[in-house]
Every structure is written in structure tokens, then in C-alpha cells.
Structure 1
Amino acid sequence: MTPQSDEDEVWRQIVASFNDTAEHDSADQPWPDSENVPAEPARRVVKPSEELEEDLDDAGDKHDEGSDDEQAGEEGHYVPPPPPPLPKLDLATKLAWVALFGGPAYLLIAAMASWHMEGWALFTAVAAFIGGFVALVVRMGDGPPSNDGWDDGAVL
């Protein structure tokens, strides 16, 4: 027999048995012991508000059976530092943002409310959007920061 005829015979068997049901149900097959997960005791998740109420009910007794487990779980909890304040914007940048969002917002509200819009109002809303976008892009400043001095780093 040639290797090609062996492959053809294997494919014929696969196709012939495609719609056959399995001889053994998967529930009857044994589960390997290495896949078993050890049973852990059920833990109760306590929301911070419930924890506070329980602490108040205990009249100051904060060391109950689960407190050691809770403290061990909180040791690795990362609390990020507060974010830095937002930068102060000058008047031109504020107006650019208002124009960028105000023009389309006006058009959307006018269309939803079925207002009759004059040609100059449409032109002003579209021009405000485009002008706000252009103003923000122009003010973005793609160059390097000016406070770094003359040294741009290592030169090879």
C-alpha cells in the first residue's frame, strides 16, 4: 500500500464516523487525580460598609476570627498616590475646547428638537468646530521642551 492510499483510508474512516455517537460518555471517563482541586473553606466577602457596621455592633472589639486573614490580604494591596492636579488652561485654550464641543452639540440639539436653522447658524457651528480643532492642534506644541537646555542626550 502506498502512503497516499493509507491517508485516503484514514480520511474515509473519519468521514464515515463523523455522525456516530461516542462510545463512552465523557461523564463515565475517570477524572485524573492531578486535576483535583483541594476544597477550601467558604469565605465571606465583607463590603467596607458592612465591616464598619459590624465593628460598631461589636462595641470596639475589632479582633475577631477573620480579622487576621483580612489584614494579611490587605498587606499586598496597592493604593496609588493621588493624581497631580490638572494644568491651568488659558482663555484661548478654554475657548477652543468650547468651540470644539459646542458647535456639534448645538447642531445635535437643534436636529433633535427639530429647530429651523438658518444658514448662518449652521456655518457658525461648523466653523466653530473646525476653528476649535485647528486652534488646539496649533497650540499643541510638537517640539521638544524648552527647559531642557542645550543637551539633547547622548550622541553616538
Structure 2
Amino acid sequence: MKPQDEDEAWRQIVENYGDTPRADEIPLAESTPEPAPAEPLRVDAVEPAVEEPPAWAPEPEEPAELAYRAWDDEGRFVPPTPPPIGWATPPRLVAWVGLFGVPLLFLVCLFTGLTLPSIINLILIGWFVGGFCYLVWNMPRTRNDPWDDGSRI
């Protein structure tokens, strides 16, 4: 396309912007022959099909009691019992109590209408902030295994 033709084409587009074309201006698409309609099926000519399960079909499921026994009898891997959860060290335990106990104590005081002296409030707030800072400070800074994504088999 030459630059003059392109400019002319754009000029026509701008001049005719928003106009709807008339029916005689729209080029007709080439007509394609429609496929012949299929012959309708006769209901009396169709025999009822007997459905047999295909060879790859799964076996019907067993009742829940039998399935549980079959699972139990297969001798699958049973993980060992995990070790008991130990207690935290005393400083860490004090930090956790401050982190969760102090807001709980403030909520109880709020709902019961109990007012605490200012010095007690300051001590409790300090305990909360100190416990939070202690726990954050003692978090591990590096992973034991940098390639460990946390999943276990």
C-alpha cells in the first residue's frame, strides 16, 4: 500500500466514523452449501442396548467395614509415636505468659469494671512488650538446612 493510499484510507475512515453502512454496501459472503439433514431415527427400529461394564471399569466398592479391615490388614507403615512435647525454658515461658496473659488480664479487667493502679498497668505493659521482644530476639536467624522446605516423608 502506498503512503497516499494509506492516507486516503484513513481519511475515509475518519469521514465515515459513526455512520452505519447500508445493506447494499455490505459485501455478501460466499454461500456454502448446507449439509443435507440426516435421516431421522425411528424409535421402533432401535433395540434397547444392554449396558455391560467395560473391561476397564473399577470393581464395585466394598462396604466401609470391609474396606477398613482390608486397609488394616495390609501391613502398611505405621509411624512411631512422637516424643512428648517438653516444657519451655523458664525465661521463654515467662515471655509467652506475658504475651498472652497480659492482654487476657486487661480484657477481664475491662469486662468486670476492675481498675488497676497505674504502676501495675505500666508493669503489665512492660511485661507484654518485654516478652514480645525476648521471643523475637531469640528466634533462629538462619535455617538449619537451607534446602529444607518443611515437608517430611
**Structure 2 length-normalised TM:** 0.45
Name the structure where helix makes up a greater proportion of residues.
Answer: 1
User: Which structure has the bigger radius of gyration?
Assistant: 2
Report which structure shows greater RCO (CA 8 Å, sep ≥6). 2
